[in-house]
A and B are shown apart, each in its own frame.
Chain A
């Protein structure tokens, strides 16, 4: 935790919440203590019940990556997958939600590299790339965004709003070209380029393999079931290639692709 600097706990106010796709929501919160600290790739631990609720179920917070930050507001995009995210989806403007964050290791924003940077996102892996695009103004960036169909391109609007070139691909061809993100990436990626990817494990492994073949460097933002989110429970581990386990919450969620073994 100490290597990642500041984290705060804050009762954030719901500014807006909209259902924006078949199963995903866009939640904007006023969080003046946390929002200005967030670096792309970091997440917040969200209590799904409103402030003042004293029940015990669901017990844990939900880790959600930050999609965009505007002054003291931050936007989270999440999918309803179970009870916790369903309860979160019921929160309305004006209610308070407790946040802990920002947490985790961000994308390597401070690296002074001049090589082309590809931001590659799949489905619910797209949202953190909007903040990544915003926080890398000096770099030559291209976003490659994919999903099974148009309505699952969660956060693609936010990426496009940063003004960087966006290439879209869907498995059913309902938006952009037809296929998977690696099909597009393979056409544009060259030796020495850099890729930051976020999405399901299968996509991340395919992107990582393509980067290896192309001699491009690759960073992956991964997702694992988490309890605390700040390093104490050691529950969200991912296997390290050199042996042992890393904590997704504080050693990640962004890892160099050569650091982790997603199948381990």
Chain B
């Protein structure tokens, strides 16, 4: 039994395996980095990064739900200068492949973050992931994710200034995701990340009031996997640019479902909270599946799925 080759290139980024950490679920990698080398991750998508520091939301931010959880963090982050000065040099020392998730209140802010990164030219950065889908920040994020033309506008502006491949992370909180996928693909996105969290809420029985300080939050975890899988399936059947699947993945078998739906890589988020080694386990699970199904490489599975999609 030979080794299974997990190398693949997604939108031109070479990665050593298809399992990435999802934005907002591993901070900047320092915590996981105390447990295993970050090179073990296909890529690390860092916390959503804004031009200036954002404080995040007051009040309660997380609540557990059946097979899932709600969060309303509000994109708390120390801003792009901190990322450049403190986090990226450290990540580079670790040999990590870094995807910077970018957030903004306005098109100009998204552009400014990318321009600032481009100007500094950190070598650890492999791609930009545009977050136009955070459900917890009203005046930015989701406003661009709810209207295909706004999504296209911010994508076009980002595509003009980024020296790195541009991923756009889409919201599932729309009636039909395909027009969004098409709009951002036409506007210059190199790849798509699907999905962000689903808007939900919980109510406290004692007080009769919403549990979360923000009233609503984003639902993540195994509860949303079928929704994410369906959206990845729909989008890979509608657009040609690569798709990275994310939503409730906690095992190699879960991840393979996304690959079979046409994703070329996956992101692991909420599963990390319960098991910080989840990305490694999932990578090994994918490898075991490929071996059991006679694939010598991940590429062979991805190509077979692509062939089916094209056929």
Q: Which residues of A contact B (CB under 8 A)?
A: 1-2, 7, 9, 47, 54, 56-61, 84, 100, 224-237, 239, 243-245, 264
Contacts and interface: CB of A to CB of B under 8 A. Distances in A.
A7 B35 CA distance: 9
A61 B270 CA distance: 12
A231 B30 CA distance: 9
B62 A233 contact: yes
A56 B30 contact: no
B186 interface: no
Given A57-B222, A230-B276, 8 more contacts: A56-B222, A56-B250, A59-B67, A60-B274, A225-B60, A225-B63, A232-B31, A233-B25
23 contacts: A57-B67, A59-B221, A60-B274, A100-B276, A225-B62, A227-B62, A229-B273, A231-B30, A231-B31, A232-B27, A232-B31, A232-B272, A232-B273, A233-B71, A234-B27, A235-B62, A235-B73, A236-B61, A237-B76, A239-B58, A245-B55, A245-B58, A245-B76
B64 interface: yes
Contacts of A243: 55
Contacts of A264: 58
Contacts of A234: 24, 27, 47, 56, 61, 73, 76
Given A2-B30, A59-B64, A233-B62, A227 B76 contact: no
A245 B31 CA distance: 19
B277 interface: yes
Interface in B55-95: 55-56, 58, 60-64, 66-69, 71, 73, 76
Interface in B3-42: 24-27, 30-32, 34
A54 B278 CA distance: 13
B69 A7 contact: no
Contacts, number: 94
If over half of B's interface residues share one DSSP class (helix, strand or loop), that class is named, otherwise mixed; here it is loop
Report, as a range, how many residues of chain B touch the other chain.
35 or more
Interface of B: 24-27, 30-32, 34, 47, 55-56, 58, 60-64, 66-69, 71, 73, 76, 221-223, 250-251, 270, 272-274, 276-277
A237 B61 CA distance: 8
B32 A232 contact: yes
Given A1-B31, A228-B272, A234-B56, A59 B68 contact: yes
Contacts of B223: 56
A250 to B, nearest CB: 8
A231 B26 CA distance: 8
Contacts of A227: 62, 64, 69, 71, 270, 273
B58 A233 contact: no
Given A236-B61, A237-B56, A60 B273 contact: yes
A214 B24 CA distance: 42
A237 B56 CA distance: 10
Contacts of A60: 64, 69, 273-274
A227 to B, nearest CB: 5
| Interface-centre pick from A9, A54, A225 (highest chain B CB count, 10 A) | A225
Nearest to A57: B67
Contacts of A2: 30, 34
Nearest to B225: A56
Contacts of A226: 62
Contacts of A235: 61-62, 71, 73
Contacts of B71: 227, 233, 235
A233 B24 contact: yes
